[in-house]
Amino acid sequence: MVIRQRVGAGFWVKAAGALAREPGLWPTAVGQAGRLARPGWWRQAPFLPLPDPEYVRFRLDTQYGTGGEPDPEDLVVYLRWCKQERRS
């Protein structure tokens, strides 16, 4: 699957490291995971609040182009933006 190749374990390890340096974003990350989770995620494996794969593909294609590699630091930038928008 294309999405798994683009957002594999290596991406998540680097993203977790980047996010670990900003504990103020942790609640925002948890909130966004819940907001983006596919409906009824708890009813089918994997039993994780993951977004719809087609949504992820669309977002990656629009930001990085087809076949582009996501940057873990962009996740931190996105979460900062989400946190700021909630305060506005």
pLDDT for position 72: 92
Q: Taking 80 as the threshold, does the pLDDT of residue 85 lie above it? A: yes
Q: Is 66 helix (H, G, I), strand (E, B) or coil?
A: coil
pLDDT, tens only, 19-73: 999 999 999 999 999 999 999 999 988 898 988 888 888 999 999 998 888 999 9
What total number of domains does the chain contain?
1
Per the CB < 8 A criterion, the answer to whether 47 and 41 are in contact is yes
Listed residue (73, 56, 74) closest to 1, CA to CA: 56
pTM to 2 decimals? 0.80
Tokens of 76: 């931190």
pLDDT for position 76: 95
Q: Give the domain extent around 32.
A: 2-87
Per the CB < 8 A criterion, the answer to whether 64 and 70 are in contact is yes
pLDDT for position 88: 59
25 sits in the region (left: phi over 0; alpha: psi -120 to 50; else beta) called: alpha
pLDDT, tens only, 1-16: 445 456 788 888 999 9
